[in-house]
């Protein structure tokens, strides 16, 4: 768990702005993920990537974009098209392939003001 670093921990965004959340891992994991958590709700998958330069949409990808230019990095951009972006965002990683343990970063709180 300690090998996944998210920044910033707290972020305020004005309406109409794009913001980028950083996620870096030093676990040499192949797969990385972004989840969104709303109060009292479970975790919903936004995007995931199993290999460099490739990524797949999760259940709630609309209004978000990602890139995977390096194995250790998987930044998430919350665009102005995301109508309700206030949430807790969790980055995670795993060795990849179904059935491998997924470990989470400490999360980033995004608030729209």
Partner 1 sequence: GENVEQHPSTLSVQEGDSAVIKCTYSDSASNYFPWYKQELGKRPQLIIDIRSNVGEKKDQRIAVTLNKTAKHFSLHITETQPEDSAVYFCAADQGGGADGLTFGKGTHLIIQP
Residue number with CB closer to partner 1 (52 or 80): 52
- Closest separation between CB of residue 15 and partner 1, Å? 25
- Which residue is associated with the tokens 């807790």? 88
- Closest separation between CB of residue 98 and partner 1, Å? 5
Residue number with CB closer to partner 1 (38 or 81): 38
CA distances from 6 to 38, 41, 97 (A): 18, 21, 23
Contact between 21 and 87 under an 8 Å Cβ cutoff? The reply is no
- Closest separation between CB of residue 43 and partner 1, Å? 4
- Other CB atoms within a 10 A radius of the CB of residue 39 amount to 7
Residue number with CB closer to partner 1 (4 or 112): 4
- Closest separation between CB of residue 16 and partner 1, Å? 28
φ/ψ (deg, to 5) at 63: 90, 0
Contact between 2 and 43 under an 8 Å Cβ cutoff? The reply is no
| Contact residues: partner 1, CB under 8 A | 1, 31, 33, 35, 40-45, 48, 50, 56, 58-59, 90, 94, 96-107
Residue number with CB closer to partner 1 (16 or 40): 40
- Other CB atoms within a 10 A radius of the CB of residue 19 amount to 19
């Amino acid at each position: 768990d300690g090998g996944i670093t998210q920044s910033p921990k707290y972020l305020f965004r004005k309406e109409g702005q794009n913001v980028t959340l950083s996620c870096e891992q030093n676990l040499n994991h192949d797969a990385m993920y972004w989840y969104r958590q709303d109060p009292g709700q479970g975790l919903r998958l936004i995007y995931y990537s199993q290999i460099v330069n490739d990524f797949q949409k999760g259940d709630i990808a609309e209004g978000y974009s990602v890139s995977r230019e390096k194995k250790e990095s998987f930044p998430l951009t919350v665009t102005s098209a995301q109508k309700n972006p206030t949430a807790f965002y969790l980055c995670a990683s795993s060795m990849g392939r179904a059935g491998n343990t997924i470990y989470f970063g400490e999360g980033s709180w995004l608030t729209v003001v």
